[in-house]
Amino acid sequence: MVAAADIADPAARTYDITGEATHGHTVMLTAADFAELAANRRVTVTSSAVGHSHAVTITCV
């Protein structure tokens, strides 16, 4: 989950999205991504992980 405070203070941040996986996954959101979210637009980023990646879509609800 991306906190509303993070959207209000748009600095680049990395989030751990590992969940229940047995290996790590992270996504990085840029200031531009936060600006899109603040404008109520969807952002799709690519997760980082060893050997593979995932497309991650983030929206405000």
Q: What is the pLDDT of residues 43-52, one digit of tens each?
A: 999 998 778 8
Q: What is the pLDDT of residue 20?
A: 82
Could you tell me the pTM of the whole model? 0.82
**pLDDT at residue 11 in the model:** 92
Residue 54: strand, helix, or coil: coil
Alpha helices in 1-46 (DSSP H): 4-8, 31-38
Q: Are 34 and 6 in contact (CB under 8 A)?
A: yes
Sign (positive/negative) of CA torsion 27, 28, 34, 36?
Answer: negative
pLDDT recorded at residue 48: 86
pLDDT of residue 14: 94
Q: Which residues of the chain have pLDDT under 50?
A: none
